[in-house]
Chains A and B, each alone.
Chain A
Amino acid sequence: AQKITQTQPGMFVQEKEAVTLDCTYDTSDQSYGLFWYKQPSSGEMIFLIYQGSYDEQNATEGRYSLNFQKARKSANLVISASQLGDSAMYFCAMRVTQGGSEKLVFGKGTKLTVNP
């Protein structure tokens, strides 16, 4: 079964510090994609970063990096130099191919609070 697990319901971090949000996944597919989305209190879903299963380098996008450990099936999001505006829900998702179509399977999310 395709599944995403986010074990941290809530995380706290001090402003300007780094934080790691955990994500593990389960799939038998060889080809898949992993995404992180941010959902601020306003409710929209904001794409942050993508990692393909065949990508050898960890993905980076500005202050976001994805610590991809394929053997351990983990895809942790690292946010460096946290800012107050980083306070939000963060969702890990996996793109799966099923019946010729592509779908996203989401984890339950982690609520990040950045303290001043």
Chain B
Amino acid sequence: NAGVTQTPKFQVLKTGQSMTLQCAQDMNHEYMSWYRQDPGMGLRLIHYSVGAGITDQGEVPNGYNVSRSTTEDFPLRLLSAAPSQTSVYFCASTRGQGGKGEQYFGPGTRLTVT
């Protein structure tokens, strides 16, 4: 199992550009999430999905779109990048349903918007 994979690992964008951060998991997990990590802020939930075709907003959704056409993939789209979106982005997945349903995290994408 590769677990949760994310691409790219690093990205530099100019203000106003758009891009998609890719996330994939091979554990057949229903639940997938995107978090951003800023210094001193911990991780904050952007969007999440409870299964293919179902997505919802988290704590900080503005400026981001997601879709979930398959169980495996959960891409995050930046529509028009802004310097405030400079952050480290983590994708995570879990089988859900309570218990020790730990979230498995991808390695992260470090995004800089100039």
Residues of chain A whose beta carbon lies under 8 Å from any beta carbon of chain B: 4, 31, 33, 35, 37, 43-45, 47, 50, 52, 91, 93, 95, 97, 99-109
Top 10 A-B pairs, shortest CB-CB distance? A45-B105, A106-B42, A106-B43, A108-B42, A101-B50, A50-B100, A47-B102, A102-B96, A43-B108, A44-B107
Contact A102 B102 (CB under 8 A): no
Residues of A with C-beta under 8 A to B94:
102
Q: Which residue of B lies closest to A102 (CB)?
A: B96
Number of interface residues of B (CB under 8 A): 30
Residues of A with C-beta under 8 A to B45:
103-105
Residues of chain B whose beta carbon lies under 8 Å from any beta carbon of chain A: 31, 33, 35, 40-45, 48, 50, 56, 58, 88, 90, 92, 94, 96-105, 107-108, 110
Q: Which residue of B lies closest to A109 (CB)?
A: B42
How far is it, in angstroms, between the C-alpha of A105 and the C-alpha of B42 when the chains are bound?
9
Contact A108 B40 (CB under 8 A): yes
Question: 10 more A-B contacts (CB under 8 A) besides A50-B100, A101-B56?
Answer: A4-B42, A45-B108, A47-B103, A50-B102, A95-B101, A100-B50, A101-B96, A102-B97, A103-B58, A104-B45
Known: A44-B107, A45-B90, A108-B40. A103 touches B33 (CB 8 A): yes
Q: Which residue of A lies closest to B33 (CB)?
A: A103
Name the residue in A37, A100, A103 with the highest tally of chain B Cβ atoms < 10 Å from its Cβ.
A103
Known: A101-B48, A103-B58, A104-B33. A35 touches B42 (CB 8 A): no
- Interface pairs (9), CB distance under 8 Å: A35-B103, A97-B98, A104-B35, A104-B45, A106-B44, A107-B42, A108-B41, A108-B42, A109-B42
Residues of A with C-beta under 8 A to B102:
35, 47, 50
Choose among B35, B101, B110 the residue that contacts A102 (Cβ–Cβ < 8 A): B101
